[in-house]
């Protein structure tokens, strides 16, 4: 279980760094309709939302299990 949490957090850190440090022109090109991944922005948002959703569920589960 801990390995999954570490993997999720590491994935978010990598995505954050990639989006933060990418040159604006490259980001526009990567998300453009002519690119091989035209829905890159939507995919990034989906990954981040999924990871955060699972993080919240994990925290709730841990909170419930430690209270009993």
Count of domains forming the chain: 1
pLDDT in tens, 45-54: 888 788 777 7
Instruction: For residue range 10-53, list pLDDT tens digits in order.
Output: 877 888 888 888 888 888 887 777 888 778 778 888 887 887 77
Q: How far is CA 1 from the centre of its chain?
A: 18
In 3D, which of 1, 7, 21, 3 has the Cα closest to residue 50? 7
Q: Where on the phi/psi map is residue 32: left (φ > 0), alpha (ψ -120 to 50), or beta?
A: beta
Determine if the pTM surpasses 0.75: no
Other beta carbons less than 10 A from residue 51's beta carbon: 16
Half-sphere exposure of 7 (CA within 13 A, CB side): 6
Domain that holds residue 35: 2-67
pLDDT band at 4 (very low <50, low <70, confident <90, very high): confident
Give dist(CA 21, CA 13) in Å, integer. Answer: 12
């Amino acid at each position: 279980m801990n390995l999954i949490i570490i993997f999720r957090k590491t994935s978010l850190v990598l995505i954050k760094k990639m989006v933060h440090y990418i040159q604006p022109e490259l980001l526009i090109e990567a998300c453009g309709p002519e690119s091989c991944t035209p829905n890159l922005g939507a995919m990034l948002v989906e990954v981040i939302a999924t990871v955060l959703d699972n993080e919240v569920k994990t925290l709730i589960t841990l909170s419930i299990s430690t209270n009993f």
